[in-house]
Structure 1
Amino acid sequence: MSRPTKIVIALAAFALIYPAATWYSGQRIQSVLDEQYADMKSHPSLKVSERSYERGLFSSTEKVSFEMAMPVAAVDGTLQAGEPLRLSMISQIKHGPLPGFKTVAAAMLDSELVLEGEAGAALRESLGGKAPLVARTVVQFDGGGHSAMSSPAFELELPDGTRQALRIGFSGFKADIDFSAGMRSYTMKGTADGLSMEDPNMQIALSGLVFDADQHRLFDDEAWLYVGKQRATVASMKAEAKEDGELGDASFLLERLSYDIDMPGKGEYLDIKALMGTEVLRVADVDYGPAHYDFSVKHLHGRTLMDLYRKLLEISSDPAQLAMQAEDPAALFAPLAGPAMTLLAHDPEFSIDRISFTSPHGTAALSAEVSLKGVQPDELSNPLMLIAKLRASADVSVPQGLILEFAGNQAEDPEEADFAAAQLQQQLAVLEAQGYLQRHGDQVKTSAAFAQGQLTVNGRPFNPLAMGGR
């Protein structure tokens, strides 16, 4: 058999087999997407309102419409149910095994986001008809794959009904996501060059956002609880009051911000360790950087945490609950008491690992820990029993000059500031003599602990009521 004949036979076989392979790939990608939107049903606030799927032999078209409840602030400051945010994702799907003859995969999806309503119309006009978000996703036969997302730059003006407006400028962003079957795990990397917001009183500008994540589900049957790592950095964030606004000359500048979250899973439990910091923290003309806020939460029961999260989202999207809040703000949080108390019964521990900043007078630092150990179900509704099992401790170190400056800032004139500083110096001397604090050079240091209903400061029993009576 000649070589040309072999080629013709191979092409004929391919022409016969490929439609069957494409039909199988079309079936596979539809089942992958069915699984994805089945998971969406468990989300308490983002609802799939409509989904259509037109399947062909070599390609398909899918349109999925979503609704998300959007509470709005009323004139009296209470939250009310506003018009839901409506958006749709339209995907043109090319079936494998050679989707678009560009790769070997089950399918390739080209998707674009459509935002509806007044905000959507304004955004489309600003983008010149471009989609606010596009994505190309390649899905492998096992359900995993890769998605490359991007958003174009835009400027948008959102009126607030009072002849004022919020102006938003966005440079666009890019993100790459690798995911496993059923989104049981994923890694993500992305960047955004800049974001600006301006209203009649304030203008805010953010630049150089970089973010990444490496996460997986703690439970196979829980679609919205992921554990793992997340990180974001921002080159700068600046906010300035406008000259003709209501905020005077307020301003602040943050540079080289970082935000790291580590959430390891341990069986049915997870820990959260967050590290937040900025190299520059300038308020007006004073730089308080480097500044750090690090905290940890340990031994959180995963399923109870999700119960609390879902209940919180249900409250924020329920018009009846929001109406109740207008009459009694405390009633808004009553439904959270059950899952919150159950969470406490699993002995979580909270700690402020570090709050620190640098002032012209030196560095101020705080660390603290809080825990409830051995709480029984019948004790959850008894505040006295909870207080008896509360354990807390804290260490504080503050420059004396910073304390005196704060006291002086409350005064109306220099004489009153001098008097306040003298009074404070006297109070510090009394507390030092009683052993409740130490002064090391320019630093004022103290520690406190609460256990078995007893408060101690620097190891000495402390009664705030008795102090107030002296």
Structure 2
Amino acid sequence: MSRPTRIVAALAAVALIYPAASWYSGTRIQQVLDERYADIQSHPALKVSERVYERGFFSSTEKLKVDIAMTVTAEDGSLQMGEPLRMSVLNRIQHGPLPRLGTLAAATLDSELDVEGEAGAKLRETLGDKPALQAQTVVRFDGSGHSRMTTPALELELAADTERALRVAFSAFQADIDFGPGMRQYTMKLGIDRFSMEDPSLRIVMSELALDADQRRLFDDEAWLYVGKQRATIASLHAEGKDDGEMAGIDLQLERLSYEVDASAEGDYVDVIAMLGTEVLRVGGSDYGPAHYDFSIKHLHGRTLMELYRSLIEVSSDPAQLALQAEDPAAMFAPLAEPALTLLAHDPEFSIDRISFTSPHGTASLSAHVNLKGIEPDELNNPMMLLAKINAAAEASLPQGLVVALIGAQAQSPQEAAVVAAQLQQQLDMLEAQGFIVRKGGQLGSRAALSKGQLTINGQPLDLFGLGGR
């Protein structure tokens, strides 16, 4: 066989095989999408209300509508179910194995997302013919892939000329997502240069918002519980009350703000450590930065945590439950009681690892820890048995000058301020003499601990019921 003949034969073989390979690729990408939508349907507040899939040999088109349950605030302040927020998605799918002859993959998707209803009409006033979100996605044969999402700049005004008027604006932004098979793990990077939100009484402006995430599913059969790390940073945030609004006088400035969450898992249990910090915390003309708020929740039973989450979503999405809550706000807790009690039975630990800020008078700090060991559901209604099971500790330190300044700021005159300062000094002397506080280096400190039903303050036992015997 001559070389030209071999080339022609090879091309003919490819021509015969490629349609079959493309058909298989089309089957594979449809399976991947079926799995994604099954995950969506498993969420109590989400529903795939319509799906039309037009299958071809080399390409397909999919039209999808997803409804998100929404609550609205009635005139009496109660929550009611509103019309669902409906999003429509158009996917233009190019089948592999060489979609667009540019990559080896099961498929590529060009996606456009739009919002329907009143919210969608408002968006179109700003965006015109542009979709609210666009995405270009490459899906490999194992279901993993990469997606790049982009949005145009947006300015949206809701409920104009009412007390609930709200104007939201943000610059165009981009998000890159790498995902594993079945979305069992993913990484994400997102950045927004500027975001603002304004109502009749307050304006908030943020700049340089960035979000990074590296997550994996704790359970393969549970689509909505991920563990891993997330980090968000904001270069600056300014909240300012309007002169003619109910929040007049508010002037809050934060700079170099960060929020980190690390959720780790051991077996079926989850530990969550969160850290919120800002280098600058300026209130009015005073700077209280750097400031930190770090907390952790440990030994949470993952399956029960998801049961509690689903119960909360279902309660918030059930018109009958919302109507009941309007008459009795405590009614919403009844469906949550069983999973909440079960969660407590798994010995969770709650900690405020650090609350701190810096003032002109010194640094203020607080830490606390609560550990619940072997709590039984019937013990929650028995204070004596509950006290015997709780192990807790707290420690606080405040600059005395800050306490004096805050209390003195309420005085109407210098003479009144002097009287208030003298009274405060007497109270501090009495608390120190009784052992409730310790004064050292201009700081007011106190440590409390509760273990096996015994409360101590600064190491000294305190009668919980007499509060006088020491």
Matching residue of 1:393: 393
CA shift at 1:237, angstroms?
0.6
Task: Output the CA distance in 2 between the equivalents of 1:402 and 1:290.
Answer: 16
Deviations 1:295-338 (A, max 9, x none): 11110000000011011111111111111111111111221111
Write the mapping of 1:66-465 to structure 2, written as runs, cut at 5 A.
66-159=66-159, 162=162, 165-463=165-463
Cα distance, 1:455 vs structure 2: 2.1
CA distance in 2, matches of 1:354, 1:78: 35
In 2, the alpha carbon distance for the partners of 1:107 and 1:205 equals 40
CA distance in 1, matches of 2:427, 2:460: 18
Is contact 1:436–1:460 with CA below 8 Å preserved after alignment? no
**In percent, how many aligned pairs have the same letter?**
66
Cα distance change, pair 163–239 in 1 and its aligned pair in 2 (3 A): closer
Shift of 1:279: 0.3
Q: CA deviation at 1:413?
A: 3.3
422-431 or 137-146, which deviates more? 422-431
Q: Which residue of 2 aligns with 1:57?
A: 57
The equivalent residue for 2:20 is 20
Contact 1:187 1:215 in 2 (8 A): yes
SS in structure 2 opposite 1:209?
strand
Tell me how far 1:72 sits from its aligned partner.
1.4
2:463, 2:241 → 1: CA distance? Answer: 44
Letter in 2 for 1:66: V
* Structure 1 residues 249-305: Cα deviation after superposition (integer angstroms, max 9, x where no partner): 211011000111111110000100001100001111111100000011110000000
RMSD: 1.7
Gapped runs of 5+ residues in structure 2?
A: none
Q: Which deviations, in whole Å up to 9, do the C-alpha atoms of 1:177-228 show, x marking residues without a partner?
A: 1111100011111111111111221111011011111111111111100001
Letter in 1 for 2:94: K
One-letter amino acid of the structure 1 residue matched with residue 98 of structure 2: L
Q: Counterpart of 2:231 in 1: which secondary structure? A: strand
Aligned-residue offset at 1:468? 8.8
Q: Partners of 2:2 and 2:105 in 1: how far apart? A: 33
How far apart are the structure 2 equivalents of 1:463 and 1:116? 62
Moved more, 459-468 or 157-166: 459-468
CA apart distance, 1:420: 1.9
Shift of 1:164: 6.0
Q: For 1:384 and 1:73, how far apart are their aligned partners in 2?
A: 41
AA in 2 matched with 1:437: I
Structure 1 length as normaliser, TM-score?
Answer: 0.96
Q: List per-residue Cα deviations over 1:18-68 (Å, max 9, x = no partner).
A: 100000000011011111111222101111111111111111111221111
**Partners of 1:237 and 1:255 within 8 A in 2:** yes
Q: CA deviation at 1:441?
A: 1.2
| Cα contact 2:449–2:455 (8 A) shared by 1 | yes
2 CA distance for matches of 1:294 and 1:52? 47
* Secondary structure in 2 matching 1:418: helix
Q: How many residues align?
A: 469
Q: CA, structure 1 residues 40+383, in 2 after alignment: closer, same or farther (shift >3 Å)?
A: farther
Q: Which moved more, 1:353-362 or 1:328-337?
A: 328-337
Q: CA deviation at 1:152?
A: 0.8
- Please say if residues 68 and 84 of structure 1, whose CA atoms lie closer than 8 Å, have aligned partners that are also in contact: yes
Between stretches 69-78 and 21-30, larger displacement belongs to 69-78
Kindly state the Cα deviation for residue 446 of structure 1 after the two structures are TM-superposed: 1.0
Counterpart secondary structure, 1:197: strand
Conservation of the 8 A alpha-carbon contact between 2:163 and 2:200: no
Find the aligned partners of 1:130 and 1:144 in 2 and give their Cα distance: 28
CA distance in 2, matches of 1:352, 1:298: 12
Report if the CA contact (8 A) 2:455-2:464 is conserved: no
Question: What is the identity, as a one-letter code, of the residue corresponding to 1:34?
Answer: D
**How far apart, in 2, do the equivalents of 1:83 and 1:368 lie?**
43
- 1:2 is displaced (CA, Å) by 4.1
Given that 2:169 and 2:196 are in contact with CA atoms closer than 8 Å, whether structure 1 keeps it comes out as yes
Query: Matched residues in 2 for 1:384 and 1:161: separation?
Result: 55
Structure 2 distance, partners of 1:377, 1:155, is: 50
